[in-house]
Amino acid sequence: MSAPVFVAGIGIITAIGDNIAENLAALESGRAGMGDITFLETIHQKKLPVAEVKHNNDQLAEKAGLSNQISRTALLSTIAAEEAIKDAGIKNFSSLRTGFISANTVGGMDKTENFFREFLHDNQKGKLRNVVNHECGAATEITADKLGIKNYVSTISTACSSSANSIFFGARLIKQNMLDVVVAGGVDSLTKFTLNGFNTLMILDSEFCKPFDENRRGLNLGEGAGYVVLVSEKVAASLSRKPYCKLAGYANANDAYHQTASSPDGTGSYLAMTGALKEANLQAADIDYINLHGTGTQNNDIAEGTAIKRLFDPSFPKMSSTKSFTGHTLGASGGIEAVFSVLAIEHGIIYPNLRFHTQMKELPFAPETKFLKGQKLNNVLSNSFGFGGNCSSLIFSR
């Protein structure tokens, strides 16, 4: 058996909280983060709800200890990643072989949009500092510099599976003895380009989303960042407290069905879940909770649900979509939901699927609707399925 990889620290910022404690409190109280658009300048204000982090860029910059001229993406990333490292409490961090693998899909697009607004009006205007960090890797580099991580830095952008892919890539680097510690996860911020693009696809709900409901009408976009600190067995043994859990299984698959839609029979979803189970040396019956990808669109939920039915029928574990709290944070979703999965194991909790009312007629199961405590969770499956059929599943084990 290959060497285990442990989760030693977690960090997060979302529309429901600036840190782990605030997110947990919101999940328990059933407080969702969606609302009217406040910070993003768009024609869709007062029309489409989103799940914005509740701070402007000046406030985020102060929290991150960075310039407010830096993209919102980099600011969110730095805040969550620093919390994760602090939470891990690795005393000799700087002396270890460390890596930072971060996912995102928008890069510094928020700043680029500001530049072009001025430039298109008058090509003698627009601040070039707003475009130099446009590409996705720039946000990763800014955060890595702030964290002092230099041994290995990489960016992954595979749509909504990005963060999950960054996490299991980090695990593979540790298993291959290339790194001792990897901070892995992802970030995304809301931009006009993203909002307009998803609106063009006609998959946004004008009300708060209701994943896996028969009457679902689409998703709500969100923003945020989530990271886990992965460590080798040797580093785990040196910590002052036990790690949260193991990253026991992971897999990526691609059904190559469509540029934006999942295959109706959930081929990619099924392959990702079965691959993760095989990697973890587990059976379907060993899974105690599934953090669903669960976007609330017609296509995603039936594809994921069909794959779950195929794999788990007739005994289904408890499951829910936490996107009913955070919105769909795109490239950040796998990282955020990995943090939620780790917390589920640590505290023995299962999250409610908010606003669920009517079971989908095609499926023999329904998500949980109440916050459950005192649950014995040994293995949690977290799904992240992206555009282009890029599907990834992670398994966290006690």
DSSP designation for 356: -
Annotated active-site residue in 136, 209, 245, 293:
293
Q: Cα dihedral angle (212, 331, 157, 304), rounded to 10 degrees?
A: -10
Annotated active-site residue in 136, 160, 245, 391:
160
Q: Is the dihedral of CA 138, 62, 78, 387 positive or negative?
A: negative
Does 209 participate in catalysis according to the annotation? no
Annotated active-site residue in 55, 134, 245, 328:
328
Q: String of b and e for 229-242 (b: at least 16 CB within 10 Å)?
A: bbbbeebbeebeee
Angle at 107 between CA 103 and CA 111, to 5 degrees: 155
Q: How far apart are CA 56 and CA 54, in angstroms?
A: 7
Q: String of b and e for 143-155 (b: at least 16 CB within 10 Å)?
A: bbebbebebbbbb
Give CA 173 to chain center in angstroms. Answer: 20
Cβ within 8 Å of residue 250, ≥6 positions away: 164, 167, 168, 171, 275, 276, 279, 392, 393, 394, 395
Does 357 participate in catalysis according to the annotation? no
Query: Taking the CB of residue 376, how many other CB atoms lie within 10 A of it?
Result: 8
Q: How far apart are CA 263 and CA 240, in angstroms?
A: 46
Q: Could you give the maximum distance between any two Cα atoms of the chain, in Å?
A: 65
Q: How far apart are CA 224 and CA 386, in angstroms?
A: 17
Does 258 participate in catalysis according to the annotation? no
* Distance, first Cα to last Cα, the chain: 17
| Structure tokens, 109 | 């697009």
Half-sphere CA count of 364, side-chain side, radius 13 A: 11
Active site residues: 160, 293, 328
